[in-house]
């Protein structure tokens, strides 16, 4: 039985991805802080999909123990999906350097270090898929979310470099760019319906990126057009837009 590791297994996207891969017969490793509190989700996955689920304690911010976490994985998964992240308001992150640090470490440092260790293990084996959930916010720095966006830009660039490094070594690396997603993290925000994906839509994009070995996937294809326009606005014009 193949195995999928879900980093950020408590998140709405992480759980949706767990169900999508379990539906294909994958055993699931759900990794999250205080993983014992996910017993209900474990039971649901096992009952619904007739697969095995492991609960693993994982904290992306505790970088000192990440190597031990990866070394202890039994089995080493066939697929690793990183759905780790947090999003604070730009105003709050601007006002509080510790909150800005948390945003950057949660969305870039911890995920990148974890996937880097998994990349080494996958490359030694000669197979596997690494999938990182980044954001269209990383496509260009914008006044309204540049701290979160810069962290995601770093993660997107990291995944691109990792993909280039592992080409020809049997390891595929995919970048998922969801845009707005209707999750607990965005609860209370007014989201534009046509630009907003459900966690299940993101999970489907993750599955297809793995199955079809896609490199960069915009969950809602319209975001590819929108961000291409935003990236190409001249800087003298863009800095007056305050978007």
At residue 113, the pLDDT reads 98
| Mean pLDDT of the residues in the chain | 95
CB neighbour class for 56 (10 Å; exposed up to 12, middle 13-18, buried from 19): middle
Fold held by 3-238: Rossmann fold (3.40.50)
**Per-residue pLDDT tens for 176-231?**
999 888 777 766 666 666 788 899 999 999 999 999 999 999 999 999 999 999 99
| Catalytic residue chosen out of the listed positions 58, 148, 158, 218 | 148
13/16 Cα distance (integer angstroms): 5
CA distances from 147 to 25, 91, 103, 160 (A): 39, 10, 7, 20
**Which of left, alpha, beta for 170 (phi over 0: left; psi -120 to 50: alpha)?**
left
- Reported pTM: 0.94
Is residue 100 over pLDDT 70?
A: yes
| Structure-token pair, residue 130 | 């690494």
User: Contact, 110 vs 101, CB < 8 A?
Assistant: no
Is residue 158 over pLDDT 70?
A: yes
CB neighbour class for 152 (10 Å; exposed up to 12, middle 13-18, buried from 19): buried
Q: Is the dihedral of CA 206, 53, 158, 120 positive or negative?
A: negative
By three-state DSSP, how is residue 92 classified? helix
**Tokens 């974890």 found at:** 114
**Per-residue pLDDT tens for 225-240?**
999 999 999 999 999 9
Domain ranges of the chain: 3-238
Say whether 26 is catalytic: no
């Amino acid at each position: 039985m193949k195995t999928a590791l879900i980093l950020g297994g408590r998140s709405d996207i992480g759980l949706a991805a767990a169900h999508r891969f379990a539906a294909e017969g994958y055993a699931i490793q759900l990794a999250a802080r205080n993983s014992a509190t996910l017993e209900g989700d474990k039971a649901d996955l096992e009952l619904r999909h007739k697969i095995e689920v492991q609960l693993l304690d994982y904290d992306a911010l505790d970088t000192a123990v990440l190597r031990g976490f990866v070394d202890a994985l039994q089995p080493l998964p066939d697929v690793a999906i990183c759905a780790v992240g947090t999003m604070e308001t730009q105003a709050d992150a601007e006002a509080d350097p510790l909150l800005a640090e948390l945003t950057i470490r949660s969305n870039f440092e911890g995920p990148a270090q974890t996937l880097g260790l998994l990349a080494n293990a996958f490359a030694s084996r000669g197979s596997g898929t690494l999938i990182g959930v980044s954001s269209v916010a990383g496509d260009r720095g914008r006044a309204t979310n540049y701290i979160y966006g810069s962290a995601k830009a770093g993660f997107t660039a990291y995944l691109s470099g990792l993909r280039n490094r592992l080409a020809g070594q049997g390891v595929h690396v995919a970048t998922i760019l969801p845009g707005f997603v209707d999750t607990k993290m965005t609860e209370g925000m007014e989201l534009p319906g046509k630009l907003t994906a459900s966690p299940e839509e993101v999970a489907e994009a993750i599955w297809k990126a793995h199955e079809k070995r896609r490199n960069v996937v915009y969950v809602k294809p319209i975001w590819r057009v929108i961000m291409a326009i935003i990236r190409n606005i001249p800087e003298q014009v863009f800095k007056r837009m305050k978007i």
